[in-house]
Amino acid sequence: VRGLLRLLVVAVSERAIPGAPGAEPRAGALGHEWRIPREWVLRLAAPSLLVAVALGQFWLAWTVGLSPWKGGGFGMFSTVDAPSARFLRAHLLRASEEIPVLIPEGLQSLALETRTLPRREGLTRLAERLAGGTWVPYRFTTAVQRYLDLSGFPDLSRWPDRDPTDTGGWSDDRPIVFSGVPLLRMLGREEALRLAGDPEAFERVRLELWRYRFDAGTARLRASVMLEATADRPDQ
Amino acid sequence: VTPTTASSFAARFAVLTTRPFARALERADRFDLCASMTLLLMLLYAGNPIRLKIAITILVVSAFVFAGLRRHPLFWFVLTAAYVVGSAPDWLKLDNHKYLIAYWCLACGLACLGEQPMKTLAFNARLLIALCFIFSVVWKLLSPDFMDGTFFHFSLLSDRRLAGVARAVGGLDADQQQLNRAAYRALINYNSQLTFVQLASTPSVKLLAGFMTWWTIALESLIAVAFLLPRPGALSAVRDYALLLFIASTYAIAPVVGFGWVLATMGFAQAGGPLRLVHVLYVAALLVLQLDRIPWQTLL
């Protein structure tokens, strides 16, 4: 790195175009004679950087499964294996029960990084964040109801424009249930502190990273597990 | 009006309307034009994070107000540093053209240090385009699911941007496309237990995918080799048109306008010599690229 920096500094500060004044060999810090063709550095520095980053991306893609679409290697549109072809399935585990959950908005960025560069540590870290979260059922709550809850003005509930057909309006905040399994959401830190009732109980989280591939012969999209991680709930 | 006189009239009209623009392009300083195109690229397509937006906007506006900055190497190095520092936290999410923009910005600064800035910039532009396409082709050649047509086959069945082509040429109907989207969503849904889904396809889609595969490989390889060779040469004569064809055909379908913009800017920079048709076409490409933002697929 020091040698490269020295090369750049000399290239920027000296005139050493072959044949031009000042192009004589110079004694370098490494103890031998070397001459910097300045114009070549100016011409090749940016392309060399491109090559270095692209080779690094190649290495990461072949060794640790970085998606060819990302990382500066120009592998986009070369394979089905884009970050979008990798997806997460997360489950809260409670005795023999497995409750599938959505990755919360606040962890989507970490989830995308894990999908793009799938490392066990990254997946485990994400699983731990999910296990450390407070989970409650999703409920239908209208904007008006939320306003009433926060404002503490019960008189407003007698407004004449209340719509009786409004699903889930007013006190009707039923949990959302799909196929007998409640849809859960992870509360943010502030929300978790204000939580009045009990959160959903669970013992651990299992997080799976899946990847699909397309079988052109049968036109089937087949998914398989790439990586898996589990994390215990911190207070268990 | 006969076809001959009509076409002659059209040609004369085209010449008359474009001549003032061509003259303006001819009179303008070529390096300054490249710098302005690059600054607009940075302003419009550098990225959305606020840490990036504020710094880039301040620097770009300063360079538009104070023309001297556009030839000052330090300005370009600061701009590059602001861009790299602002983008680095998202390195795993960035599209490849964001990397290319950084190299190009650095090349602008390095060119300002040279004896002949435009010549240095042109060399950088040619090599950056060549390398970008070389790596792109290598990735495609190394990907079995690209070379056997699987990638485009799947894209035609599932990518909304290709839905119009898949319907018009591939013979897929709207119901099949709806089924494919439902199947895709079912597979990746958070509570799914499926391990595979069946997509609807047609033999024509497979044929079209094969054509798209080889068209892409052929065009990208031609661009890579042609830009790698210094002028003059047999291939170098067609390289500008090949790149323009790539910009026109690719970004009409996949509207990554920032990528098209940086390629057109670099194409303009490396097309040396007196003003020619390709210079005008590269500038026109910057403008036409904006039309790609119209969601044509949904209008078809």
Q: What share of chain A is helix, strand, coil (3-state, %, to 5)?
A: 35, 25, 40
Residue type, A117: L
Joined tokens for residue B227: 């830009």
**Is B165 or A179 the better-scoring residue by pLDDT?**
B165
Nearest chain A residue to B106 by CA distance is: A46
As a whole number of angstroms, the distance between CA B36 and CA B30 comes to 10
Residue contact B103–A74, C-beta within 8 A: no
Nearest-Cα distance to chain A for B119, in Å, is 9
A68: chain B residues, CB-CB within 8 Å: 139, 143
Residue contact B135–A219, C-beta within 8 A: no
pLDDT band at B28 (very low <50, low <70, confident <90, very high): confident
Q: What was the pLDDT predicted at A17?
A: 40
Tokens 């949904």 found at: B298
- Could you report the predicted ipTM of this complex, rounded to two decimals? 0.90
A213: chain B residues, CB-CB within 8 Å: 145
For residue B232, say if its preceding peptide bond is cis, omega within 30 degrees of 0.
Answer: yes
% of chain B surpassing 90 pLDDT: 73
Residue A21 has pLDDT above 50, yes or no: no
Tokens 């970008």 found at: B132
As a whole number of angstroms, the distance between CA A78 and CA A68 comes to 8
pLDDT band at B298 (very low <50, low <70, confident <90, very high): low
| Dihedral, CA of residue B37, residue B42, residue B47 and residue B51, to nearest 10 | -170
Q: What was the pLDDT predicted at A29?
A: 47
Tell me the average pLDDT of chain B: 90
As a whole number of angstroms, the distance between CA A42 and CA A44 comes to 6
As a whole number of angstroms, the distance between CA A53 and CA A180 comes to 49
Q: What was the pLDDT predicted at A18?
A: 42
Residue contact B150–A216, C-beta within 8 A: yes
Is-contact B223 B246, C-beta < 8 A? yes
Residue contact A113–B113, C-beta within 8 A: no
pLDDT band at A183 (very low <50, low <70, confident <90, very high): confident
Q: What was the pLDDT predicted at A191?
A: 81
As a whole number of angstroms, the distance between CA B142 and CA A80 comes to 13
A119 touching B, CB under 8 A? no
Mean of pLDDT values over B176-205 = 95
Model pLDDT for residues A58-79, shown as the tens digit of each residue: 999 999 999 999 999 999 999 9
Residue contact B151–A101, C-beta within 8 A: no
B115: chain A residues, CB-CB within 8 Å: 17, 39
Mean of pLDDT values over B193-200 = 96
As a whole number of angstroms, the distance between CA A149 and CA A191 comes to 14
Q: What was the pLDDT predicted at B36?
A: 96
Nearest chain B residue to A61 by CA distance is: B139
A89 touching B, CB under 8 A? yes
Is-contact B265 B104, C-beta < 8 A? yes
Residue contact B195–A113, C-beta within 8 A: no
Residue contact B94–A72, C-beta within 8 A: yes
Q: What is the DSSP letter of A21?
A: T
Nearest-Cα distance to chain A for B216, in Å, is 10
As a whole number of angstroms, the distance between CA B42 and CA A184 comes to 42
Of A68, A89, A223, the CB nearest to B139: A68
Residue contact A42–B113, C-beta within 8 A: yes
Residue B212 has pLDDT above 50, yes or no: yes
The model's pTM is 0.84
Model pLDDT for residues A76-97, shown as the tens digit of each residue: 999 999 999 999 999 999 988 8
What B196-199 contacts at long range (C-beta under 8 Å, 24+ apart), as own/partner pairs, is B196/A220, B196/A221, B196/A222, B196/A223, B197/A220, B197/A221, B198/A218, B198/A219, B198/A220, B199/A214, B199/A219, B199/A220, B199/A221, B199/B157, B199/B158
Residue B285 has pLDDT above 80, yes or no: yes
A213 touching B, CB under 8 A? yes
Residue contact A216–B154, C-beta within 8 A: yes
A70 touching B, CB under 8 A? yes
As a whole number of angstroms, the distance between CA B127 and CA A43 comes to 9
Nearest-Cα distance to chain A for B158, in Å, is 11
Q: Of A26, A117, A30, A28, whose CA–CA distance to A70 is shortest?
A: A117
Please count the helices (runs of H) and the strands (runs of E) in chain B: 15, 1
Residue contact B188–A87, C-beta within 8 A: yes
Q: What was the pLDDT predicted at A188?
A: 84
Model pLDDT for residues B87-135, shown as the tens digit of each residue: 999 999 999 999 999 999 999 999 999 999 999 999 999 999 999 999 9
Of A78, A112, A117, the CB nearest to B139: A78
Q: What was the pLDDT predicted at B14?
A: 59
Please count the CA atoms within 13 angstroms of the CA of A169 that sit on its side-chain side.
Answer: 11
**Is A198 or B177 the better-scoring residue by pLDDT?**
B177
CA distances from B88 to B30, B56, B80, B81 (A): 31, 14, 12, 10
Q: What was the pLDDT predicted at A48?
A: 97
As a whole number of angstroms, the distance between CA A196 and CA B119 comes to 69
- Cα-atom radius of gyration of chain B, to the nearest Å? 22
Q: What was the pLDDT predicted at B161?
A: 86
Nearest-Cα distance to chain A for B237, in Å, is 22
CB atoms within 10 A of CB B275: 15
Nearest chain B residue to A104 by CA distance is: B190
Please report the number of interchain residue pairs, chain A to chain B, with beta-carbon separation below 8 angstroms. Answer: 157
Nearest chain A residue to B217 by CA distance is: A78
Joined tokens for residue B99: 């990397």
**Helix, strand, or coil here: A218?**
coil
A76 touching B, CB under 8 A? yes
CA distances from A157 to A106, A142, A147, A162, A172 (A): 33, 13, 10, 8, 13
pLDDT band at B11 (very low <50, low <70, confident <90, very high): low
Of B124, B132, B209, the CB nearest to A43: B124
A223 touching B, CB under 8 A? yes
| Dihedral, CA of residue A209, residue A215, residue A218 and residue A221, to nearest 10 | 30
| Interface mutation target, options B97, B99, B153, B201, chain A, most CBs of A under 10 Å | B99
A178: chain B residues, CB-CB within 8 Å: 191
Tell me the average pLDDT of chain A: 81
CB atoms within 10 A of CB A61: 22
Residue B42 has pLDDT above 80, yes or no: yes
Joined tokens for residue B81: 């540093």
